[in-house]
Structure 1
Amino acid sequence: MADRGLDLEPSLNALNSLILGRPVAVVVAFLAVTAFLMGGIGMIQTVEDQSDAFSEDIDAQEALDAVNEEFGATFGDDEESTQLLQDSQNTLSKPALLRSLDVIKRTNERAELRLTDATGPATIIAQEIDPTAESYAAQRRAISRASDTELKTAVRQSADRPGFQALVSEDFNRRSASASASITVLTHSFPPQGDNLQEVQLGVKEIADRSDGDIRVFGLGITNSETANVIGDSLGIVMPAVLGLILLFLIVAYRDPFDLILGLVALLLSLLWTFGFIGYAGIPFDQNMISVPILLLAVGIDFGIHIVNRYREEKGRGFDVREAMTITNSQLAVAFLIVTVTTVFGFGANLTSNFEPTRNFAIVASVGIIFTFLIFSFFLPSAKIIADRNRKRFNIPSFGSSPLATEESILGRALPAVASVSKRAPVTLLLIFLVVSGGAAAYGAGVDRSFEQEDFLPPEDLPDYIENLPEPFAPSEYTAAGSINFIEDNFAAGNDDQITMYIEGPFTRDSALESVYRTTKEPPDTYLTTGNRAETTSIITVIQSYADRDPEFAALVARNDRDGNGVPDRNLEQIYDALEASPAGDRADEYLTDDRRAIRVEFAVESDASQGEITADSREYTEDFRYTATATGTIVVFQAVTDLIFQSAFQSLFLAIGLTGVFLIGVYWLLDRKPLLGVVNVLPILVTVAVLLATMRVLGLSLNAVTATILSITVGVGVAYSVHMTHRFIDEYTGGASTDKSLRITLQGTGGALVGSMLTTSIGTGALVLAISPILGQFGLLMAVSVFYSFVTAIVVFPSAAYVWARYDQGRSFRDWLWEQTNSTPQFASHED
């Protein structure tokens, strides 16, 4: 007798006897565990600044951190400062300056806001008018009493002060003493380990909001507060929409209020268990985590519909409650276990990611899927038995008790028709599927990739449907993205179109500055140039700028500039000493370290050049410098993160496919001694992933910090569709049915359940497009598309693969088998109806 594989029937019978024989005890045990895990929900903490987690341990970020530590900042981007961003027709006019000083003065009067210093155009101009005006009230009086002529003169003189022009917009006009925007930096003092920056900046914002509306407040505390708020606001908008849509489709799928309630309770328990685990495990809840409950609902819906649908099939054959559920559990237990393991592989593959948020997502999603499996495999069948027994006892009528797709229904007739098409030319169809998916994968490999701080922030302008939501769904006020855009649009110092070159010297050597100056000639094509020299800001430009304003210092530079190009090439220590003792000393600290062993040079780059091109040019350009040079800055850091995101996405994808394929081949060999069924099972999901990648590129969607997980998640969620098809098919096939009949039963019974699962899951996950954060909206759209593709490939690709496999399984030689597949319609001598 042929080896039929591992016989699980005795073990399944024993398990069913244990679970279904004591349904009340099972339900009570699950409710007790739920009560315990709910205690962890209150321990959940949200992440405030998620973007930093993606740049940890990256060389370019470490270099940028070193630059920020060793050099003075251009203007307050440290963690203890607040920026007042003023936007008006002329922020250097008397009324605008007075409004700025009013905000500073009122902030200073509130002790809890811990103001220690304020630097902005208003304070600098006021002290230019009256050098003795040290208090903010005195500075306000100085500006208030100045005539228009005195004020314009003070502005022109202030323009020569160190740092002034970094605080006014690029359209600053010295002659008319005007600028359309300005920045004032407020510095706060905090006790050791102080953590109330948010409260301080929100307090400053409260003051600024009362100042005629032309001053906005920006800082790390504001950004962190909004990052935390967007999580709660997104959940508050998305979850009701998801639950509403899911409820609508579950009503159609179940068509019975009791089954509907049981399914919803099981879904609720899955969420409660998972959120409780997050709290007890101390895993922070960030924007990546918002997709977890959606994914759990997707898998839970799939399990629930399959259980109820299969149970109804068995009830329709005349079995009683216990017998019908026993058969259902026996037939679905293995499929559910396979789906759970493969889904864990898909989600867990993200543990290889370089990013902690992605690894946390992998842990929580994997644990959540295991919880979902336990609840729907044990709790739901037990609760269903209790409910149906009581319905029978109290003579409560049944409602929609038939499966989703019956022979009489349109769906029941349409789905099996796919097998008829596949039967005519299965090999040809498979070759077409492989060619199409190969082309899609090649095209999709060029999908865009990106990483930006704004990915984690709500957009500057929220859609109207979000803005007009009533309480309690109305979103918080969001200003961070607008402030970032305001700085980038108006200030050179806030512009991301630059590269920081960190160069290690020593820079006291006579030729040090000259060698740097020579290297700025003929820079890469992505760098901005004047003539044939790169546009830079460095200690060299600070020296030249101050020499233009101070004749004595200019003479000192000239005496030590042997070739007359404006760059001193001897006695550099004397030059530095004189510069640091001058009004330009603070500016010099921004580009020269205290030990004079390193400098930073800022290179302006082409705004229309890609991040990748600029980074590649910059890394190559470092080789041209005489001293050790490291390219860094926002562009380089974000490109490094982007490269890692792309690498991690495909690394996780290949791992998920590899683990899933090996597992399925092993399972089908162990259970049925038919390992090639594992390949048949994986084929539809390979087509899905390839077409999904191509779709992303067509739609212009990129792989970013959140959507990078979509490929491995597609494997995890999508493989469930082909697993259910394969498992049902092999059950019928090994039971003696022909291939035709096995596929017809599979497409009609399991296929019908998959339709309900696909509709609820794709619509439910697609509701993420309503999230405030665009990055979550993209993820939701891709999830909906991937679920739909997974269903289509399971229904369309699987039958062709099953026909080809069945012919091979009937023992023909490979040559005869291949000849018959390519030259005739297959006839199945064995496994007749």
Structure 2
Amino acid sequence: MTLLDRLFENVTKHSRAIIAVLLVATILVGAGAPMIEQSSSLDQFQSDSPAAKKLNYINSNFTTGNENTTTVQVILKGDNVLSKEAMVNSLQFQQRLRDNQTINETLAEGTASTGVANVIAISAIQQQKVAELKASGAKLQQRSQQLNRTAAGLSDALNQTRALQGKYDQLNASHQSGDVDNESYRQQSAKIEAQLSQVRATATANLSAEQSATFNKSAQQARGLQAKLDGLNASYRSGDINESTYKQQAGEIQSQFGKVYKLGTQGVLADEYEKLGEQSEKLQQKRSALENGSMPTLAEQLDQLQSMNQSQIDSLTKAVLSDDGGSSGGMASQALAFMPTSYDTGSTEANATMLVIFQKQESQSSMEGQASDVLVSTQQGMKTIADEEFDHEALVFGSGIISEEINQSMADSLAIVGPLALLFVILTLIIAYRDVLDILLGILGIAFVLVWTFGFMGWAGITFNQMFIAVPVLLIGLAIDYAIHVFMRHREERETNPDEDVRGSMRVALVSVGAALTWVTATTVIGFLSNLVSPLPPIQDFGIVSSVGIVAALIIFGGLIPALKLELDGFLESRGFNRKKRAFGTGGGALGSILTVGATAARKAPLVVIVLTLLVSAAGGYGATKVDTSFSQEDFLASSPPHWTKQLPEPFKPGNYSAKQNLDFVNDNFVREDSQAQLLVEGDITRDDALEQVKRAEEQAAKKDVTLTLSNGEPQVQSPLSVMKQVAAQNETFNQTFTAADTDGDGVPDENLETVYDGLFAAAPDDAAGVIYREDGNYEALRVTISLKGGASSSAVTTQMREVADNFDGLTATATGQSIVFEIVQDDLLNTVIESLIITMVAVFAFLMLIYRITEGSATLGAVTLLPVVFSVAWILGTMYLLGMPFNVLTGMITSLTVGLGVAYSIHLSERYNVELERQGSVWEAMHVSLTGTGGALLGSAATTVGGFGVLAFAILPALQQFGIITGLTIIYAFIASVLVLPSLLVVWTRYFGPGARGSIDLKSEGAPTPSED
């Protein structure tokens, strides 16, 4: 007796100790279950690829503000979303979001929301401000000109005063010399004084009393200085002073004249000039604020739209949403991004538009991830407000809503498929067992297996994700197989040896099937653990957890449940209850005939069976090369559940799902905020041709099929160059810097780029930080963001964007983004499929050959046992191709799963055949007994497994539905291969490699005895 046989024999010898130990172990292991955490984040599927690293680099170093943000897209529908009423309603909705304290706390600082209504309102305000600035500037210029004319008039008055004073001085000189008599002197002097008075009166006619006094003072000083200058001139002409003295004194007088003129002009108008300067400074501040993009508040936007009539709004809408964005500046040129791609540019009517809301989040994820509880609750609150505001005509979705729907679909899927799987197993066991106690023991064993599995997950810190919904179903289906094989073999033994007691029959049953159960467990674990080669952590975790669950099933159904059964059966039989039951499929009849079809074919034409199998498998292998690979957000988004699920009672009734439908609508009609490719440009980004290369990249990207174009035919691309042009259109200072650096006039700076970058950060720091990364004053990288068509294949995106990145010269450009990272995940999935299949095949092949060489003396029997599984793999891959079912995170494990699960059927039949071959001495009798005995158990276990996985077709998650369907087919194929193909392979093996080759087995018997009825 082998060590393994003795181990299983001890279960019957020390049944009560086994029960006690395993019950305690169940409690200890199960204590970890409450520690399990849940996650629906797609980040967990991200491998450590260069594209993923660059995307993380972008998210860490490029920002659009001080806070990390996530976007919520609101699609507004209606007869005309560009009407005044609809636009006002849009702004009122945004105001309601701000009025909600919980939502308001999550809104991003600065621009919290934006849409066409905001663009129109802001454009109107800016146009009005520009008009006001122009009017104010014209008024200031007019006042400046008026003051200058007044100052010139005052200066002329001082000149006239000096001229009249000169006449007065000449009159005095003539009077002193006697040339003018006294009467004439009085008349002429009076006339001069009258002229002087007239000059002063004219000059001060429009001046205040204080200003008049100042001017009169300056005029009086001018008269005195002129008189002094005239006297100096007379002295110089008479020779009383020399030329040097004359020039010195004349210069001093002229200097004093300058002060007098300043007092008489600017001094008089000092307050007016000061007021004019203050007004000019305020006007300049307003201009700077407008240039620097100071945004009007939402209340100001709402007031503006409400103050306009429909005609004014239509006129501005037409200008803003025209092909070139009108004359509304850089911001308005982006307005078309909020309109459907089918929108007729310049039209004042549309049936849908998009509003984008920005929310703060704790960290920025490179891929679609699990949203925080705050984002989930606030985005659901936004949806509620939108339904109220727009009468359910608005579509709202964001990371919070998507995350919640994924989590909800996980919970709803478990709530539906868990009970259905258990119900199906119970119904199957009722048919197979026809015994209440055995059914209850089977259910109890399943519960213990699940406790061990989820307890291990908790202790190991493995997070429950979308994939693990399949684990309970997987274990329910597989674990019950162990019970069926043990219980059916136990029943057979009691039926064959009526004198054997419960303990003795269980000992024989465990010893006879224990090896098969162990080999099945080992091969299944090998199949699951082969997923450790996957670079995707969730697939690795799935393989580990499933392996632990399978080992737990062996321990529970190979130890605890048999021990419990023999104790309970012994107790009941000691009190007169008959616990003998017929094994499923051993009573003859139609079922027995069906199960022996493979034996009949093997007896009549084994080579024909094998050849036909090879042909079908070859066709399946060809189809396998055509199976696609898929990894996208849509794989995890549920469609609306079938109508019948709405009739389910709580808590089984599923919720409502709209994210997938909304996402499809956005993909077909709008720019998706999260559907972008990005180019990370690194190296010496201040070199003269850096922006020229960015420009070429933009032009190349615009020609790609995957690039989204707006309704005006232009691609939606954001780059350092596009941001610079927007800022230059609004900021005159940066515009001068930008233009000066463009030496060839092509609109792209080609020198002094560091100065250009500095100017951009000075003019618009937030915008600059979104496209340029600098650290400690050094410019490190540029970012180009390219919006993609909704639904564009990740393969096409990856190929085309890498072509764009490869054209950079002297700079390192990397194409990245969610689609590209997802494509890498798809590649990893395909590699997982191939590598895990190879590893599983090689490992199981080596394992079976070694085990059968040790136990049966024939390594070739291991190869024969594995062959039906190889055929099953080809069949299931061909079926996936025919059904159009791709490899995803769940179906991608189907190859290793097929080997791990399918080999169990072959092992059980091969083991039983070898035992019966030794007992019966005839191939046909051994084959008949094996197929009716073990075949019946295989049919029962296949039915439970197929049913268990089949209920996944009712799951809410699409990936789970596909996994359930394809895994159910896998079990069916494995069962068919074991009962139809394996018999022919065993016959050929027996004849050429087994006992038949040594002439020790009867190969000529034409049939098998018909078993007698009970």
Shorter-chain TM-score range: 0.7 to 0.9
2-structure distance, mates of 1:783, 1:600? 44
The residue aligned with 2:564 is 383
Question: Which residue number corresponds to residue 119 of structure 1?
Answer: 113
Higher mean displacement: 624-633 or 465-474:
465-474
Change (3 A) 1:740 1:577: same
**Rg (Cα) greater in structure:** 2
CA distance in 2, matches of 1:801, 1:136: 79
Q: 1:147 aligns with which of 303, 306, 309?
A: 309
Identity %: 33
Contact 1:27 1:383 (C-alpha < 8 Å) held by counterparts: yes
Match of 1:12 among 5, 13, 23: 5
Asked if 2 retains the 8 angstrom alpha-carbon contact of 1:488 and 1:495, the reply is: no
Q: Deviations over 1:73-130 (max 9, x none)?
A: 5x99955554444333443433333333334333333433314452213444444445
Contact 1:256 1:398 survives alignment (8 Å): no
Q: Deviations over 1:206-236 (max 9, x none)?
A: 4334322234443333332222222111100
Query: Which residue identity does 2:631 align to in structure 1?
Result: F
1:768 aligns with 2:952: yes
The answer on 1:109 being equivalent to 2:61 is no
The answer to whether 1:182 aligns with 2:172 is no
Aligned to 1:315: 494
From 685, 702, 707, give the equivalent of 2:869.
685
Kept after mapping to 2: 8 A contact 1:521/1:534: no
Q: Which amino acid aligns with 1:120?
A: T
Shift of 1:191: 12
**Corresponding residue of 1:821:** none
How far residue 747 of structure 1 moved from its aligned partner, in angstroms, is 0.9
Question: Counterparts in 2 of 1:421-432, with a 5 A limit?
Answer: 421-432=601-612
Letter in structure 2 aligned against 1:757? S
What one-letter code is carried by the residue in structure 1 that aligns with 2:602? Answer: S
The one-letter code matched in structure 1 to 2:872 is T
> Following superposition of structure 1 onto structure 2, how do residues 295-314 of structure 1 map, counting pairs within 5 Å?
295-314=474-493
Deviation at 1:495, TM superposition (A): 7.3
When residues 749 and 268 of structure 1 are mapped into structure 2, their CA distance, relative to the original with a 3 A threshold, is same
Alpha carbons 1:348, 1:366 under 8 Å: kept: yes
Q: TM-score of the superposition, structure 2-length normalised? A: 0.73
- Alpha-carbon distance in structure 2 between the residues aligned to 1:781 and 1:11: 36
Give the Cα–Cα distance (whole angstroms) in 2 for the partners of residues 505 and 351 of structure 1: 37
Relative distance call for 1:78 and 1:792 in structure 2 (3 A) is farther
State the distance in 1 between where 2:441 and 2:564 align. 7
SS of structure 2 residue aligned to 1:213: coil
Contact 1:352–1:651 (8 Å) recurs in 2: yes
**How far apart in 2 are the matches of 1:308 and 1:593?**
68
Counterpart check, 1:220 vs 2:393: no
CA 1:812–1:383 in structure 2 vs 1: closer, same or farther (change >3 Å)?
Answer: closer
The range that moved more, 547-556 or 166-175, is: 547-556
2-side partners of 1:573 and 1:750: how far apart?
79
Residue matched to 1:402: 582
Q: Secondary structure at the match of 1:196?
A: helix
Task: Give the deviation of 1:274 after TM superposition.
Answer: 1.5
Q: Distance in 1 between matches of 2:372 and 2:7?
A: 59
> Structure 1 pair 242/11, CA: closer, same or farther in 2 (3 Å)?
closer
Alignment match, 2:22: 30
Deviates more, 1:343-352 or 1:195-204: 195-204
TM-score by length of 1: 0.88
Residue 592 of structure 2: which of 395, 408, 412 is its match?
412
Instruction: Kindly state the Cα deviation for residue 662 of structure 1 after the two structures are TM-superposed.
Output: 0.9
Q: Encode CA deviations 1:366-396: one digit per residue, 9 max, x unaligned.
A: 1111111111111221222123223323334
Q: Which residue of structure 1 lines up, in the alignment, with residue 272 of structure 2? A: none
Query: Using the alignment, how far apart are the partners of 2:578 and 2:313 within structure 1?
Result: 87
Question: Which deviates further from its counterpart, 541-550 or 663-672?
Answer: 541-550
Q: Deviations over 1:741-776 (max 9, x none)?
A: 211111111111111111121122111011101110
Extract unaligned runs of 5+ from structure 1.
1-6, 818-824
Q: 1:91 to 1:572 in 2, by over 3 A?
A: farther
Give the Å deviation of 1:465.
Answer: 2.7
- Opposite residue 53 of structure 2, the aligned amino acid is E
Letter in 2 for 1:183: L
Write out per-residue CA displacement over residues 231-263 of structure 1, whole angstroms, 9 at most, x where no aligned residue: 111100111111122211111111122221221
Summarize the Cα distance change of 1:178–1:590 in structure 2 as closer, same or farther, 3 Å threshold.
farther
Report whether the alignment pairs 1:653 with 2:832. no
In structure 2, what residue type is equivalent to 1:772? I
1:63 aligned partner: 54
In 2: Cα distance, 1:541 partner to 1:444 partner: 46
Query: Aligned to 1:175, what secondary structure does the other structure show?
Result: coil
Segment of structure 1 superposing worse, 780-789 or 113-122: 113-122
Counterpart of 2:449? 270
8 A Cα contact 2:91 2:302, kept in partner = yes
Deviates more, 1:105-114 or 1:703-712: 105-114
Residue in structure 2 matching 1:98, options 88, 91, 94:
88
Assess if the C-alpha contact under 8 Å between 1:556 and 1:575 holds in 2. Answer: yes
State the Cα distance separating 1:43 from its structure 2 match: 2.1
Letter in 2 for 1:119: S
Aligned length: 808
Sort the Cα spacing of 1:609 and 1:24 in 2 relative to 1 into closer, same or farther, 3 A. Answer: closer
Confirm or deny: 8 A CA contact 1:487 1:495 kept in the other structure: no
Q: Distance in 2 between matches of 1:586 and 1:638?
A: 29
Which residue does 1:281 correspond to in 2?
460
Instruction: Sort the Cα spacing of 1:185 and 1:683 in 2 relative to 1 into closer, same or farther, 3 A.
Output: same
User: Relative to structure 2, which stretch is displaced further, 693-702 or 345-354?
Assistant: 345-354
Superposed counterparts of 1:125-144, under 5 Å: 125-130=120-125, 136-144=298-306
CA distance in 1 between partners of 2:773 and 2:339 (Å): 26
Cα distance in 1, alignment partners of residues 835 and 28 from structure 2: 37
CA distance in 1, matches of 2:68, 2:853: 60
Q: Secondary structure at the match of 2:783?
A: strand
Counterpart of 1:360 in structure 2 is 541
Q: Kindly state the Cα deviation for residue 167 of structure 1 after the two structures are TM-superposed.
A: 3.9
Shift, 1:188, TM fit: 3.9
Can you list the C-alpha shifts for 1:286-311, whole angstroms capped at 9, x where unaligned?
11111111111122221111112111
Counterpart AA for 1:337: T
Amino acid at match of 2:426: L
The answer to whether the 8 A contact 1:270-1:368 is kept is yes
Q: In structure 2, what is the Cα distance between the partners aligned to 1:13 and 1:515? A: 75
What's the CA shift string for 1:10-46, capped at 9, x where partnerless?
A: 7635642x32234344334433333334433322221
Q: CA deviation at 1:534?
A: 9.1
C-alpha contact (below 8 Å) 2:68/2:361 kept by paired residues: no
Structure 1 pair 174/147, CA: closer, same or farther in 2 (3 Å)? farther
Q: How is 1:505-654 mapped onto 2 (pairs within 5 angstroms)?
A: 505-518=683-696, 526=705, 537-542=718-723, 561=742, 565-573=746-754, 590-594=770-774, 597-602=780-785, 610-626=793-809, 627-654=811-838
- The match for 2:627 among 442, 447, 466 is 447
Structure 2 counterpart of 1:43? 35
Gaps of 5+ in 2: 130-294, 365-370
Question: Which amino acid in the other structure matches residue 99 of structure 1?
Answer: N
Structure 1 residues 106, 173: closer, same or farther in 2, change over 3 A?
same
SS in 1 for 2:893: helix
The offset of 1:613, in angstroms, is 4.2
**1:812 Cα deviation after fit:** 8.3
Conservation of the 8 A alpha-carbon contact between 1:274 and 1:368:
yes
